[in-house]
Chain A
Amino acid sequence: MRLLFGSCFTLMLAAVIGLGATWLTVTHGVAFGSLTIGVWTAWPKSGSVDIDPYARATIARTGELPVGTGDGVAFYARTDDAGNNFDGRCTFTISGMTPAARYWTLTLYDLDGRLVANTIDRHGFTSAEIVRDAEGRFVISVAPQARPGNWLPTGGIERFVLVWRLYDTPIGVATRTTKEGPMPAIVRKACS
């Protein structure tokens, strides 16, 4: 009787631990070999055959196609430099340097990877269309209300993700130091 109870308990606990761990890792996007520069994190190996099993499980669940290593690399940010979560009701400014790349794009998504509806139908910027000052620097305002210059609307949603994709870039699996890739800084301003 004791043996039966014990084995039933063990099997149930094992199922809870095993499936729970799988669910946690897959929904939170656990992947190895990440490359973090400031608040920006990329998984260059996810775009190659060296992708780890956790990243494979994650992309199979979400249904996305990762950017291939010979194509470019995608950096994800969920917080500003001070660690504040991206809140669509706040204004964030993005400024600074970008790593060497032939083109880059910056796109704003909700947590499920969908674009966010807004009045001017803008979901991001490319390196070619960004407005720069005389020295080539740029400032992007991510804000719910219209801003002068480069305004990226948040649509006022609660949480969002920024994805910076670099195309035709030397940044990749071999990149180790942060010196090779300066990424833009993100600072939170006022919240409405």
Chain B
Amino acid sequence: MIRSLLWILGAILLGGIVHLSTVLVLPQAAAQDAYSRLVPLTTVNAMVPLAAPTAEASIMPFMDPAFSAAVCRYDLSSGSIKLNAPLSQAYTSVTFYTRNSVAYYAIDDRAAGRRAIELDLMTPEQHAQVPEEEDVTAADRLIIESPTTTGLIVLRALAPEPGLLAMAHRALAGAQCHIGPVQ
């Protein structure tokens, strides 16, 4: 009796370990996460507009249909990324995701405070190599550090009314994402 209880206790403990390790490994093993879904639809280090979600097809679940979105799938291994996004009239935001869909930085148009959102994205190592004075003269330039070498920059522009979706789309069409040194 006691022996079988011990076996069950052991199974519960082992089951807990299995549970915790699978939860931790799952993000790395997921084949249908947002990044994997966007790989066939995007090119590396370029801003690509995303198809708006409809009842028939949606690239990702729970996309906000009131927004026009564009994505830059980045790879920082060959240099830092420059992002330039003109603002639409209503509301524009930029969100940075790691390879595993963790949103590590987000900024909206009001926080950016100018007519365009301009920033540099780099790895911590690349940031460390940016010369000191350059960092000072570029104080009004935002530098974002990416925790992973690859990831996603998602640009979203709100269409307050369905008729304004084309306007939001046009605003995003001017956005650029490319490899370039910090100026």
Chain A residues near B (Cβ < 8 Å): 6, 9-11, 13-19, 21-22, 25-26, 46-49, 51, 53-54, 56-57, 59-72, 74, 102-103, 105, 107, 109, 112-118, 123-124, 126-129, 155, 163, 165, 167-168
Q: Which of B23, B34, B53, B152 has the most CB of A within 10 A?
A: B23
A11-B11, A102-B110, A105-B64 are known contacts; what are 6 more A-B pairs with Cβ within 8 Å? A9-B7, A10-B11, A22-B19, A56-B102, A65-B60, A113-B61
Interface size (B, Cβ < 8 Å)? 64
Chain B residues near A (Cβ < 8 Å): 3-4, 7-8, 10-19, 22-24, 26-27, 30, 32-34, 36-37, 53-56, 58, 60-67, 90-91, 93, 95-97, 100-108, 110-111, 147, 152, 154, 156, 158-162
Closest to A10 in B: B11
Name the B residues within 8 Å of A60 (CB-CB): 26-27, 30, 33, 100-101
Contact B16 A18 (CB under 8 A): yes
Docked CA distance A105–B97 (Å): 22
Contact A64 B61 (CB under 8 A): yes
* With A60-B26, A117-B55 as contacts: A21 and B108 at CB distance below 8 Å: no
Contact A63 B60 (CB under 8 A): yes
Closest to A105 in B: B66
Total A-B Cβ pairs within 8 A: 206
Closest to A46 in B: B103
* With A59-B33, A60-B33, A167-B93 as contacts: A66 and B19 at CB distance below 8 Å: no
**Top 5 closest pairs, chain A to chain B, by CB:** A18-B18, A113-B61, A68-B106, A17-B15, A128-B160
Q: Which of B18, B33, B158, B161 contacts A19 (CB 8 A)?
A: B18
Instruction: Jot down 9 A-B pairs with beta carbons below 8 A, ordered by A.
Output: A10-B8, A11-B11, A51-B102, A57-B23, A63-B30, A64-B34, A105-B66, A128-B90, A129-B160
Name the B residues within 8 Å of A6 (CB-CB): 3-4, 7
Closest to A128 in B: B160
